[in-house]
Structure 1
Amino acid sequence: MMNNQKTDSELALLLSRESQDAFKELYIRYKDKLYHYCFHFLKSEEDTNDVIQEIFIRLWEIRNFINPELSFSAFIYTMARNRILNYLRDCNVELQVKKAVYAKASLIKEEGVEAELIFSEYQQIFIDAIDKLPHQRKKIFNMSRKENLSHKEIAEQLGISVHTVQEHISESLRFIKTYFNQHSDLVLGILVLFLI
């Protein structure tokens, strides 16, 4: 274990040189501080723990690019802030989409068979879009959307990082939205994405 009297800059330098001990020391030094910081915004113990884990996984992934001359504290809090903003943005988008989904479902129910047939066409476009994804990306997307697995669970099953899972999901959604934009009404397409 590292001497806990080492400065953040010294530990950051060692971390950039692949030191696992430096990583562990920084984890011990910052995990509780980051927990309180993140929990203040997320208000959920589970979500906070997930975000903390993602922060340190990402920190290890980019260890070779860390500049020890810059403030490590500012650096890792910036990482935390970005993860929090991404989380809150995703939650807000999901809430808005769910409201729109309920409205669309009610519309289909009111308009009857014709609307259902139109909606089924959008479902088929959605299926076609997924089929066009690269094999690994398609697998990860289906594990997320069809099996309802968390990014952490997918990462553990496939032996990859949570960040890699997030990148695959983001790229999948980007491709699917583009595909819908080319083949249908994008807004309805996004609704189908969350209804299936």
Structure 2
Amino acid sequence: MINYSACFDQELVLLLKDDDDAAFKEIYLRYDKLLLIYAYKKLRNREEAKDLVQDVFTWLWNSRKDFSINTTLSGYLYKSVLNRIFDVVKHKGIIRKYVDSGEHYIEISNEETDYLIREKDIALLIEKEILAMPPKMREIYTLKKKYFLSTKEIATELSLSEHTVSTQMKRALKHLKVKLGIIVLFITVSF
């Protein structure tokens, strides 16, 4: 019987390639907590970090037959986690840019095509949140972001003070940013 805890990482990788569940379990036990701490320090979100590390281990198991590394196992796992952290941060930046702009499209380069489906879901969620705003706030937001009216023009059209229009716009943006946090959590957990 093999003592997996005494095996070197390279031995565990070879056993893993031969569908050895116990080798995978040993790899998981060795690196799970360390990778979780590493991801948490970068993301500052425990649930995102757990999901991200779980994704790395799921990928490792699913691609065990084709798995090959040119470095140490630990280095490979840390690099995998770091790449996924970059993906999460990049995706959050895209969402934040989208909501802050008030526009209902995102320009996506070829490297970001994997976010197309998410972008459509996000657009629907943002539209839903805009529709959930109080009527006057929604009207002001729409006039500002969709019809590009100035604060003064909106105030004149709605017979409100410019201060009221500015306050309502700030509240509308705050409303969307608060909901954005929930959207980001939902998107990263469900995808």
Q: TM-score range by the shorter chain?
A: 0.5 to 0.7
Q: Does the 8 Å CA contact 1:38/1:80 hold for their aligned counterparts?
A: yes
Aligned residues: 119
Shift of 1:152: 5.2
Shift of 1:70: 3.7
User: Is the counterpart of residue 84 in structure 1 residue 103 in structure 2?
Assistant: no
* Aligned-residue RMSD, C-alpha: 2.8
For the 8 Å contact 2:69–2:76, the answer to whether it is kept is no
Q: The residue matched to 1:65 in structure 2 has which SS?
A: coil
Structure 2: which amino acid aligns with 1:107? K
Q: Which runs of 5+ in 1 are unaligned?
A: 112-147, 154-165, 167-196
Name the residue aligned to 1:65.
Answer: 66
State how 1:97-116 maps to structure 2 within 5 Å: 97-101=98-102, 105=142, 106-108=144-146
Note if 1:39 corresponds to 2:44. Answer: no
TM-score, structure 2 normalization: 0.55
Residue identity opposite 1:42 in structure 2? L
Pairwise mapping of residues 150-165 of structure 1 onto structure 2 (< 5 A)? 150=187, 153=190
Q: Radius of gyration: which is bigger?
A: 2
Q: Distance in 2 between matches of 1:91 and 1:45?
A: 16
> Aligned with 2:19: secondary structure?
coil
CA distance 1:151–1:47, change in 2 (3 Å): closer
Q: TM-score, normalised by structure 1?
A: 0.53
Residue in structure 1 matched with residue 23 of structure 2 by the alignment:
22
Q: What do residues 7-51 of structure 1 show as CA deviations (whole Å, max 9, x unaligned)? A: 000001101111111111100000011011100110011111110
Which of 1 and 2 has higher RCO (CA within 8 Å, sep 6+)? Answer: 1
Identity of matched residues, %: 24
Q: Deviations over 1:120-173 (max 9, x none)?
A: xxxxxxxxxxxxxxxxxxxxxxxxxxxx965655xxxxxxxxxxxx5xxxxxxx
Return the offset for 1:75.
1.1
